[in-house]
Amino acid sequence: MPYDFTTWDRNCQEEQATPIQGNTSGSLPPWLRGAYIINGPGRMTYGDSEFLHVFDGSAILQKYNIGETGVTYSSRFLKSYAFMTNSESEQIVVSEFGTKGCSAAKSKLAKLGDKFAFDKMFSDNAPVSLVRYGEDYYATTESPFVHKIDPSTLETISKVDLHKELSINSVCPHPVPQPDGTVFSIIHGVGAMGPKYDVVSFPAKPLEGKSTVFAKPQKIGSVDARWKFNPCHMHTFGVTPNYVVLLEQPLTIDVKAMVANTIREKPFIGGMEWMENKLVKIHLIERSTGKEVKTKVKCEPFFYLHIINTYEMNDQVVIDICGYDKPNLLHALFIEKIRMKGPSLADEIEGGYVKRIIVPLNVMKESSPDTNLVTLPGSKATALRQKDGVVLLKPETICNTVYENPTINPSKSGQPYRYYWGAEGAFKENCGKVGKVDMESGNVMTWQEENFFSAEAHFVPRPGAVAEDDGVVLVPGLFGGARRNETMLVILNAADMTEIYRSTFSLPSDASRALHGIFIPA
Ligand SMILES: [Fe+2]
């Protein structure tokens, strides 16, 4: 059965604020209680105007609450400035990733100066993920706006403008929480040498005299962008016990085009540039000193959004990624293309893969260009020191099919690990599978149901578990074809991928594709 791209062409017009019961089968593990909240684009139209790209939809928060009597579902739109302005104007006013909005200055809500205010020029719609900072939960995106939400009601409480607080232009939507409650992130700013990436740590509690954890992040280190007018798109990064790992991929943001697009009120995607045949530059920043490891390290080209995990072993840093040859995926998901091309759209999207990159830490000047510096047993990855001193990496392919939105046992973050779980990303197939990937063997164990398309799966360890895969995988998702207004949560045994529980819900409007989520234990 071909991939059903209509599952991306959904338009949720009505939230489900009151929790509803579903049709269930199976039984919940007695230890599993909490809320799985997912975030993603939801509402696609305002009046007669419609967003052009899937990722432009106004964020909707969807919650599967796992309680004593079963699972309930509820949803609320994120009440961003963009959402409120578009709603009250009954048209798309604020430009998004792939859609030009009509000028805020022309809208009936316009105030003097709005057109040139950063927080009015750039959308604060945040449909990418949910992150815990301090004691609170926030909806995030790539722009410097995060929204505090109430996880019990899904109400939007307040907005934090990180551009105003920290003078930054964009922020990583996937910060990396640490065991002590601090949260590492990458913020993009401009230094004396042009664009730069600052690695920062937000504290677990507001510092003395400060009201929020965002007030004064600790700076861990900084890296200048390799191209002065083209900082790289950096959706995720890695943190190991001793290093922060940044991958500068060939997908860049053309600053000049971006400024021109902003003035002309054109969408963001027009400012993204793929630097054909350019290598991926890898930066390792030492956490204790903030200094970058001096050896220049580059890897053969790939496009990526998600790093699965990074860890250190035997004086080497291992970087596992969900990779692609090119970023065609971003350009394929325009609503018009989906409607015109149907299943044949799959021909335009590169198949992904799971790759392992290994960076040697102690590189001797005497190393011959013929000597593979990767010494991990059984690895097929290579690292060759070139005559100019650059270490050139070739990854090992672990799996020829990508499983996206990776989730691992949280105790293994930054540590050696064996398994990850994700949703299959091969658009030429049905693509509804959830896979458990064995990173040692490359073998994949899958679960799937005809016509069901999973959003981000999430691994929850069983309390007291010893084995890495002892727990469950939460799989939210939606259905293709005519079942547009149904959503389902499936709970799988993480070890053998067998189904142990499901609950299906009928919604008042289209079920929406979610991108990422967070599990909050009860
Ligand atoms: Fe992501």
Ligand 1 center to 404 CA (angstroms): 9
Ligand 1 center to 366 CA (angstroms): 40
Query: How many angstroms separate the CA atoms of 297 and 107, rounded?
Result: 50
Ligand 1 center to 172 CA (angstroms): 9
Ligand 1 center to 232 CA (angstroms): 15
Specify the DSSP class assigned to residue 217. Answer: P
Ligand 1 center to 26 CA (angstroms): 31
Ligand 1 center to 463 CA (angstroms): 27
Ligand 1 center to 127 CA (angstroms): 10
Could you tell me how many residues make up the chain?
A: 522
Ligand 1 center to 305 CA (angstroms): 6
Ligand 1 center to 402 CA (angstroms): 14
* Cβ-based burial of 65 (10 A; exposed 0-12, middle 13-18, buried ≥19): buried
Structural domain containing residue 298: 5-521
Residues 103, 115 contacting (CB under 8 angstroms)? yes
Please state the domain count of the chain: 1
Ligand 1 center to 419 CA (angstroms): 19
Ligand 1 center to 401 CA (angstroms): 18
Ligand 1 center to 307 CA (angstroms): 9
Instruction: Centre a 10 Å sphere on the Cβ of residue 90 and count the other Cβ atoms it contains.
Output: 13
Ligand 1 center to 38 CA (angstroms): 12
Residues 353, 387 contacting (CB under 8 angstroms)? no
Q: List the chain pLDDT tens, one digit each, 522 residues.
A: 778 899 999 999 999 999 999 999 999 999 999 999 999 999 999 999 999 999 999 999 999 999 999 999 999 999 999 999 999 999 998 877 778 777 544 444 445 445 445 666 678 999 999 999 999 999 999 888 999 999 999 999 999 988 887 777 788 889 999 999 999 999 888 877 788 999 999 999 999 888 889 988 999 999 999 988 888 999 999 999 999 999 999 999 877 776 676 666 666 666 788 999 999 999 999 999 999 999 999 999 999 999 999 999 999 999 999 999 999 888 888 999 999 998 899 888 888 999 999 999 988 888 888 999 999 999 999 999 999 999 999 999 999 999 999 999 999 999 999 999 999 987 877 667 999 999 999 999 999 999 999 999 999 999 999 999 999 999 999 999 899 999 999 999 999 999 999 999 999 999 999 999 999 999
